[in-house]
Amino acid sequence: MSIMDYANPSRFLALSGRLLPWLTGLTVLFLAAGLYMSFFTAPADYQQGQTVRIMFIHVPSAWIAMACYTLIAMSALGTLVWRHPLADVSAKAAAPIGAAFTFLALVTGSIWGKPMWGAWWVWDARLTSVLVLFFLYLGLVALWQSFDEPARAGRSAAILALVGFVNVPIIKFSVDWWNTLHQPASVMRLDGPAIHYTILLPLLTMAIAYTLLFLTLHMAAMRNEILRRRVRSLMQQRADAAQNIAADAGQGGVGQNVGQPTEQEA
């Protein structure tokens, strides 16, 4: 059985039902290990002191925020080009989760920036582009809610997702293209990470934990969306059946009166 066989919603529900308990357990394990290392074993920074620990929450949140939107853009291609039956479900389920991670990145970034920059917010290129990403997520959520028909909502949201994807590389390379308050990349570098392993290890552990958390939430949300659409389809079928019965009954009543003599004719 190939991976495309799991494009069937019923098979996805069966597979995800088996995987979710394991993903949940791994998420809890890595979160506990990552938080312990971040707040108890990682050293304080010689300049930033204890405030550097916000990094272990902020940086993985920003990574997942961008990765989630990338997943939505890929799902949008699946919706528009390949008509993948689960593509729209995946994108719709991911949007609120991505918005939550983006909001967390913005909030923790402001908390971290206050003692470092002396302000809660500055119109820095990266901060501004992440704020645009947050608005894109909110726009996608609102667009899906504005249509009663899932197929029309999915196509409209897919177009917006693809247009908005241009913002993701802007976030990534903003520190290289413009003079910003953010430092250049120190982990994902061609010549290797530029930070000490005592900070890198907890950071990567938290990144794995956040990735597992996203996968768990996304899979659960996809299951809920599939079931929600099935309930909607069943309700629509019942409503159509009730209308057909009522129409047949009305036609039958008219047919029974045709050819029957009136009281005056009798």
pLDDT digits (tens, 9 = 90+) for 195-215: 777 888 999 999 999 999 999
Chain centroid offset of residue 244 CA: 39
| 141 has pLDDT over 80 | yes
Model pLDDT, residue 148? 78
- Between CA 25 and CA 32, with CA 27 as vertex, the angle to 5 degrees is 100
Q: What is the mean pLDDT of the chain?
A: 84
| 30 has pLDDT over 70 | yes
In whole angstroms, give the CA distance from residue 23 to residue 12: 15
In whole angstroms, give the CA distance from residue 137 to residue 143: 10
Structure tokens at 187: 């982990």
Question: What tens digit of pLDDT does each residue of 144-159 get?
Answer: 988 878 788 889 999 9
Burial of residue 187, with CB atoms counted within 10 A of its CB: 0-12 exposed, 13-18 middle, 19 or more buried: middle
140 vs 116, higher pLDDT = 140
Highest-confidence range of 28-32, 228-232, 241-245, by mean pLDDT? 28-32
Structure tokens at 166: 């241009």
Q: Which of 184, 200, 217, 177 is nearest to 68 (CA)?
A: 217
Model pLDDT, residue 252? 64
Model pLDDT, residue 31? 96
Q: Please give the model's pTM, rounded to 2 decimal places.
A: 0.84
| 46 has pLDDT over 80 | no
Question: What tens digit of pLDDT does each residue of 179-199 get?
Answer: 676 665 555 554 455 577 788
39 vs 151, higher pLDDT = 39
Identify the band that residue 166 occupies on the pLDDT scale cut at 50, 70 and 90.
Answer: very high
Model pLDDT, residue 264? 43
Model pLDDT, residue 265? 42
Q: Which of 215, 207, 188 is nearest to 63 (CA)?
A: 207
Model pLDDT, residue 184? 59
What distances in angstroms separate CA 154 from CA 35, 144, 264, one per listed residue? Answer: 37, 7, 61
122 vs 77, higher pLDDT = 77
Helix intervals (H) in the chain: 9-36, 55-80, 87-117, 125-145, 150-164, 167-177, 197-257
Model pLDDT, residue 266? 36
Q: What amino acid occupies position 230?
A: R
| 42 has pLDDT over 60 | yes
Model pLDDT, residue 126? 86
Model pLDDT, residue 9? 86
**Structural domain boundaries of the chain?**
33-179+196-247
